[in-house]
């Protein structure tokens, strides 16, 4: 999803090089801007870098820092620019705006110890993907990402696609990254029992909820009932879901019925209202 709210549909994993925390992904995109790949082999310690990422779901955040060191024969670039959770995969840019690395990890026990994969690894992976394409290999799906990683954030309107949008929205709470769920909402939402709120409120609410309930599971029961109002380009979906949430003190499970309003269903679906009705609920202490 771009900063202006445009969605690009995920199609496949083109190539995932062994031994490198990297994947080349294919999206259906038109008229999209892109970054130029530079070089890290000519970069030096002390050089200024910029990182564009989504730390804690805050989309499009720009942070700066320095190259602190090169590690493991320059296979890792240590940088001081923050890469909080949510920024993994973000581009690391030099002062000319060219990509010299990809943010990959941070040392949680240290202070401002962040690391990036050099851009040469990206170039090698792209070359391997192109070689696969020449051999007829591209198009074969790589192993699916883990259940905690978003697979698709680009629902399309109409028929089964709109049903799938509803399913993906309901189960977005399964992901650790709050921006997955946040990406489905419009700018102004009639949000459960909180009335009409903005995305900043929703982002903070999701973050607090996920912190309170670190173990969560949501699944859809049956098919959503979707009614489309073509004249207004809106849809209403009624869906029954099963849920289970748990922390170190207690666990709660049950089912509820959500009524969801979606606007711009023919172009760029966004959730603008969610009302939930509890159907069943049980609570018990967490076993230690």
pLDDT digits (tens, 9 = 90+) for 223-259: 899 999 888 889 999 999 999 998 888 889 999 999 9
- Strand segments, DSSP code E, in the chain are 9-15, 24-28, 48-53, 61-71, 76-79, 91-93, 99-106, 114-118, 185-191, 196-198, 215-229, 234-246, 250-263, 270-285
* Tens of pLDDT, residues 99-158: 999 998 877 666 678 899 999 988 888 888 777 665 554 444 444 344 434 333 333 334
Contact 106, 69 (CB under 8 A): no
According to DSSP, the residues that pair with 3 across neighbouring strands are: none
Cα–Cα distance, 224 to 166 (Å, whole number): 7
**Cβ atoms of 119 and 125 closer than 8 Å:** no
For residue 9, the model assigns a pLDDT of 80
Least confident of 21-30, 60-69, 81-90, 152-161: 152-161
Q: Report the alpha-carbon distance of residue 96 to residue 78 in Å, rounded.
A: 19
Higher pLDDT pick, 288 / 93: 93
**pLDDT grade, residue 58 (50/70/90)?**
confident
Q: Tell me which DSSP letter residue 261 carries.
A: E
280 by DSSP, 3-state: which? strand
| Average predicted confidence (pLDDT) for the chain | 83
Poorest-pLDDT segment among 1-5, 190-194, 230-234 = 1-5
The SS3 of residue 247 is coil
Please give the Cα distance from 200 to 198 (Å, whole number). Answer: 6
Give this prediction's pTM.
Answer: 0.47
Which CATH number describes the domain made up of 159-285? 3.10.450.50
pLDDT of residue 144: 38
Domain map of the chain by residue range?
Answer: 34-125, 159-285
Rounded Cα gap, residues 51 and 61, in angstroms? 8
* CATH architecture assigned to 34-125: Beta Barrel (2.40)
């Amino acid at each position: 999803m771009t900063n202006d709210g445009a969605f690009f549909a995920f199609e496949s994993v083109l190539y995932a090089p062994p031994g490198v925390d990297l994947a080349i992904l294919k999206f259906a995109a038109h008229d999209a801007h892109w970054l130029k790949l530079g070089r890290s082999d000519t970069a030096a310690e002390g050089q200024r870098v910029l990182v564009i990422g989504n730390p804690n779901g805050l989309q499009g955040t720009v942070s700066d820092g320095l190259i602190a060191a090169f590690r493991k024969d320059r296979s890792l670039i240590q940088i001081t620019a923050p890469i909080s959770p949510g920024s993994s995969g973000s581009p690391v840019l030099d002062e000319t705006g060219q990509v010299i690395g990809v943010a990959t990890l941070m040392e949680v026990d240290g202070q401002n110890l962040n690391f990036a994969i050099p851009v040469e690894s990206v170039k090698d992976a792209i070359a391997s993907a192109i070689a696969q394409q020449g051999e007829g290999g591209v198009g074969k799906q790589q192993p699916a990402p883990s259940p905690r990683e978003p697979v698709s954030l680009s629902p399309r309107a109409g028929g089964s696609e709109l049903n799938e949008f509803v399913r993906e929205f309901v189960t977005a709470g399964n992901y650790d990254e709050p921006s997955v769920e946040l990406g489905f909402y419009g700018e102004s939402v009639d949000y459960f029992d909180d009335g009409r709120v903005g995305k900043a409120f929703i982002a903070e609410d999701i973050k607090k909820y996920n912190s309170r309930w670190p173990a969560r599971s949501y699944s859809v029961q049956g098919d959503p009932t979707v009614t489309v109002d073509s004249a207004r380009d809106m849809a209403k979906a009624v869906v029954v879901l099963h849920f289970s949430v748990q922390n170190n003190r207690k666990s709660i499970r049950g089912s509820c019925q959500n009524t969801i309003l979606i606007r711009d269903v023919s172009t760029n679906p966004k959730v603008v209202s969610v009302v939930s009705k509890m159907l069943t609920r049980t609570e018990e202490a967490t076993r230690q």
